[in-house]
Amino acid sequence: MTEANSHVLAPTPRAARQSIMSTVLHNPVGLGALIVLACVVLLSIFAPLFAPFSPTEVRIESINAPMGGEFLLGGDGVGRDILSRLVFAGRNTLIGALIAVGVAMTGGVISGLLAGYFGKFFDSLASWMANVLMAMPSMILLLALFKALGSSMFMAMVVFGVLITPGFFRLVRGLVINVKNELYVDAARVSGLSNSRIIGRHILLVVRAPVVIQTAVVAGVAIVLQSGLEFLGLGDPSLPTWGGMLQDAFANIYVSPTAIIWPGSAIAITVASLVLLGNAIRDGFQRVDTGPAKRRQKRGAPSSPTEPASSAEVVEDDPNVLLSLRNVGVGYSAGETTKEVVRGINLQVHRGEVLGLVGESGSGKTQTAFSILGLLAPGGHVTRGSIIFDGKEISNLPAPAMRALRGKRIAYVPQEPMSNLDPSFRIGDQLTEPLRAVLGLSKKQATEKALALLARVGIPNPQRTFDAYPHEISGGMAQRVLIAGAISCEPDLLIADEVTTALDVTIQAEVLDLLRELQRELSMAVILVTHNFGVVADLCDRVAVMQNGQIIETNTALELFANPTHPYTQMLLSSTLEDSVPRDLVVANQGAR
Amino acid sequence: MSATITEPGTELLRVENVVVDFPMRGWRKPDFRALHGVSLDIKAGETVGLVGESGSGKTTLGRAVLGLATVASGSIKFDGVELVGTTTAQRRAMGSQVQVVFQDPYTSLNPAMTIEDILSEPLVARGGLNRADARKRVRTLLEQVNLPSDAADRLPREFSGGQRQRVAIARALALSPRLIVCDEPVSALDLSTQARVLDLFVDIQEQTGVAYLFVSHDLSVVRHVSHRVAVMYKGEIVEYGPCSKVTVEPDHPYTRKLLMAAPVPDPVRQKARREQRRELILAGEIN
């Protein structure tokens, strides 16, 4: 136990715990947007300090004055300083946007939280109201409002805030409904925490990020809409705003063509910074969640120090060997460094034999399987060594050749049967399509063959399953369907990746029986990737045990289970519980002693 | 450990004829009955294993005991107190007595909270401890589940599956409960980790006298930790008895099917078991 514990307590590399703020600041776009916004906000707040003139001071001689005179950016149509008005207008425009965003966010977040968390009556009511608000044409409504209530831009922004509340409401409600079913929320409930505490501690944390992003974008929209209304002449003429300035400049565009640039750029720069800041925050959250992005490496061009030998040199001497891995490494590139997850393994699969590839999670067994299939995730590539299939090097095959090989000679059955069937197509379509594409069968022939295959894998009513959608069949059935698809081309090699892990134990037994029968019938070689020693014992002729990307022991199944030589194999085998003594007997024995 | 520790062997939980229905989507669709009148009892300090395949209702029974699933009829008594039909507030008061460890160590811990926050939350909110006392208790809890005390300042993502599950166990232990519902607590773990976490469960039970309702699909896992075992099939308990009986020589055909289906990690014995299973199927004793 002590030795075992030391393994558990091995220090985990402390992940760099960057805050969102620092990731945004390290993103040049985010930093730029933030600086621009800060300047705009500061200029607006301290407008009286920066503006050289009062925004309402009129000088007759400066009507439509050009740039560079007494008024730095020229004068407007009434003879006011454009620069001063621009600075003061920022104030009013930003306050207007703030009102709209504040109203929308407060209303939307609170109602979204309540509707998502408590559901039921309030949810129905709030969702209905949100739908009504969304159905309203906001521009027309605002225009009508000006007619009814007079020209108060701030009032209009309150109404606009209400009109865009559904955006926040739907966002928050959707997020809350997802989080509500997270196990940690259940655990908090079981701990007896109150609802308000659960919402405050667990749910708000999740909602926070998307709301911040949405706020940045909505603020931009609010500025544009507000300016649009003022451009139409609906604002309060006594208050300087960017939209109002735009209107004035537009009216005098033939006299003073440059005046329109300043309010226009102010709007464009502010809105663009808001949107870019929103993007930067979103990227920041994603980076914190997933770590640094992996760079995609060009496939088929491994940056290996040891070049794989060309196919001419490596004719396999033993014709009985179907697949041979020699010193194969698989690596994932992140920036300049490559992390090897499979570190130089040697493996041979003979024709018609079942090889078990066993190991715990992270041992590299699935990566090994994917490297044979040429299906490594983006960023992954074979770093060294060679993979020889039926006498040919396949680790550097171009994609089309690899695809042809995968369809006909190497087949694959994945772990999660359900996620490997497209939910929007019938089972039959998904089976016949590859048959027609790979084997060139007609539609009728393909249908017949698919039905025969379904019958072959033990599906009681093939026609019904053929016509069914994936959600209409059980997980065990789905796995049989995938096996049927894999054997349709009578492959030489079947790679089965944890095929029974997602299945119930009684279904697992049936699927294992099926695999055994099919393997004998088609005399194909099988690589069975699994963590379950029971499954290995049931099916495999030979076993390779993997740990930390290396194969530490290979032997026949009989020998390996009887005499495991490597300490890790011994530890794994002793961890299996199948032979453990029932607890009540343990207790009884302790009592007797 | 806890002030209200019950004498071992006295009855702690009694579930009688519990029925749970789930409403189906769609208008006027009949409800789906997940539990058809299930009865079970757990004694103080005892582990009752609950085995079944997916859809058998084993998790639903655990959630009903936790108050996370609505019980349509029947009774669940904890220490003589009826839980069915109680208000949320009463239920909350019970909260500290019945706790939970979930299956998935990746989603059962809030990714944004440090381990200390996760563990001290119930202590401060429910146990009435102040920050400093809570911090001390967190160190004790981490020690109890064999995690280093510097784990407190880290986030869940810095830990492996087995370590996260230890954190989840520590959280369940925080309020010194008398019953912990363990919902597939080792299913997501690697083989060697699984064995160690199970041993931890047993150790903790021996130290604190807590009782477990241990839900799992794996007969061998249940055999390792349970005193008594109940087998669920399609919303009913089909067999309930001592562990050595139910998991070694069961009476019910379904339990025998389960037992025969689990492969043994030994090619020779597995071959024998396979033959045995085939004969039973041919004889029509199991399907």
**What DSSP line would sit under A346-393, residue for residue?**
EEEEETT-EEEEE--TTSSHHHHHHHHHT-PPTTEEEEEEEEEETTEE
Cα dihedral across residues A53, A57, A59, A64: positive or negative: positive
Nearest Cα neighbor of B13 from B71, B86, B62, B72 is B62
Residue A501 belongs to a domain: yes
Tell me the torsion sign for CA atoms A463, A467, A468, A470.
positive
- Look up residue A79 and give its two tokens: 């003879």
Looking at residue B3, what is its pLDDT?
41
Domain that holds residue A148: 20-290
Element at B233 (helix H, strand E): strand B228-233
Which of A290, A311, A340 marks a domain boundary? Answer: A290
Q: Report the residue from B99, B148, B192 with minimal CB separation from A360.
A: B192
Radius of gyration of chain A (CA): 34
Nearest to A8 among B95, B146, B262 (CB): B146
Q: Residue A204's closest chain B neighbor by CA?
A: B112
In chain A, the number of structural domains is 2
Residues A353 and A270 in one domain: no
CA distances from B212 to B162, B193, B244 (A): 19, 20, 17
A81: which DSSP letter?
B
Asked whether residue B1 carries a pLDDT value surpassing 70, the answer given is no
Nearest CA in chain A to B101: A187
| CB of A193 less than 8 A from some CB of B | yes
The b/e string for B84-98 (b: 16+ C-beta within 10 A; e otherwise) is beeeeeebbebbbbb
What are the start-end ranges of the E strands in A367-479? 380-389, 392-393, 410-413
Q: Assess contact for B37 and B185: CB atoms under 8 A.
A: no
Judge whether A421 and A481 are in contact, CB under 8 Å.
Answer: yes
* pLDDT for res B193: 85
Q: Do B110 and A361 touch (CB under 8 A)?
A: no
Whether residue A329 sits in one domain with residue A284: no
Query: A136 and A245 in one domain?
Result: yes
Average pLDDT value for residue range B76-101: 81
Answer yes or no: is A419 within a domain: no
Tell me which residue in A13, A507, A584 faces B242 most closely, judged by beta carbons: A584
| First-last CA distance in chain B | 48
Q: Are residues A283 and A360 in the same domain?
A: no
Cβ–Cβ < 8 Å for B47, B243: no
Q: In what order do the strands lie in the sheet with A380-389?
A: A337-350, A321-334, A380-389, A392-393
| Residues A329 and A260 reside in one and the same domain | no
Between A and B, how many residue pairs show a Cβ–Cβ distance under 8 A? 210
Q: pLDDT digit string (tens) for A295-344?
A: 333 333 334 444 444 433 444 467 788 999 999 999 888 777 788 889 99
Q: Tell me, what's the ipTM?
A: 0.84
Both tokens assigned to B174: 């925080």
Helix (H, G, I), strand (E, B) or coil at B188: coil
Question: What are the structure tokens assigned to A375, written together?
Answer: 């299906």
Each residue of A139-167: pLDDT tens digit?
888 888 877 877 777 888 888 899 999 99
Cβ atoms of B64 and B128 within 8 Å: the answer is: no
Q: Least CB-CB distance to A561: which of B146, B265, B277? A: B265
The CA distances from residue A252 to A59, A63, A249, in Å, are 17, 10, 5
Which residues on B lie below 8 Å from A579 (Cβ)? 264
Query: So what's the pLDDT on residue A554?
Result: 93
Q: How far is A291 from chain B (nearest CA, A)?
A: 11
Contact between chains at B263 and A509 (C-beta distance less than 8 A): yes
Pairing of strands B211-216, B179-183: parallel
Give Cα separations from B287 to A154, A267, B168 (angstroms): 74, 73, 39
Q: How high is the pLDDT of residue A253?
A: 85
Contact check, Cβ <8 Å, A183/B122: no
Specify the pLDDT at position A207.
85
Q: Residue A205: which CATH number?
A: 1.10.3720.10
Residues of B in contact with A188 (CB under 8 A): 121-122
A27 and A112 co-located in one domain? yes
CB atoms within 10 A of CB A499: 26
Q: What is the pLDDT of residue B94?
A: 67
CATH, residue A499? 3.40.50.300
Partners of A342 in the beta sheet?
A: A330
- The residues, any chain, with a CB within 8 Å of residue B89's CB and separated by 6 or more, are none
- Please state, in angstroms and rounded to a whole number, the distance separating the CA atoms of residues B166 and B280: 41
Q: Which residues of B touch A584 (CB under 8 A)?
A: 226-228, 242-244
* Distance, CA of A485 to CA of A449 (rounded, Å): 10
pLDDT at A396: 83
Distance from CA of B245 to the nearest CA of A (A): 9
| Residue B81 scores a pLDDT above 90 | no
Give dist(CA A109, CA A101) in Å, integer.
11
Question: Are A230 and A359 members of one domain?
Answer: no
Nearest-by-Cβ selection for B158 from A7, A14, A508 = A14
User: A199 and A338 share a domain?
Assistant: no
3-state SS record for A295-349: CCCCCCCCCCCCCCCCCCCCCCCCCCEEEEEEEEEEEEEECCEEEEEEEEEEEEE
Using the Cβ of A186 and the Cβ atoms of chain B, whether some distance falls under 8 Å is answered with: yes
Chain B residues closer than 8 Å to A460 by CB: none
Domain segments of chain B as ranges? 8-97+178-250, 108-176, 252-287
Name the residue of chain A whose CA is nearest to B176's CA. Answer: A191
- Verify whether the Cβ–Cβ distance B265 to A536 is below 8 Å: yes
> For residue A3, what is the nearest residue in chain B, using CA coordinates?
B196
Whether A206 has its CB under 8 Å from any CB of chain B: the answer is yes
Q: Determine which helix (DSSP H) or strand (DSSP E) holds A178, and give its type and residue range.
A: helix A165-180
* Rounded CA separation A25/A293 (Å): 17
Q: Cβ contact (<8 Å) for A5 and B270?
A: no
User: Is the pLDDT assigned to residue B241 strictly greater than 90?
Assistant: yes
Say if the Cβ atoms of B226 and A584 lie within 8 Å.
Answer: yes
Whether A102 contacts chain B with CB within 8 A? no
d(CA A272, CA B48): 62
Residues A83 and A212 in one domain: yes
Structure tokens at A449: 């063959």
Asked if A7 and B192 come within 8 Å (Cβ–Cβ), the reply is: yes
Report, as ranges of residue numbers, the positions in chain A whose pLDDT lies below 50: 1-17, 290-316
Per-residue pLDDT tens for B196-223?
889 999 999 999 999 999 999 989 899 9
- Topology given in CATH for the domain delimited by B8-97+178-250: Rossmann fold (3.40.50)
Q: Which residues of chain B does A417 touch, with a Cβ-Cβ cutoff of 8 Å?
A: none
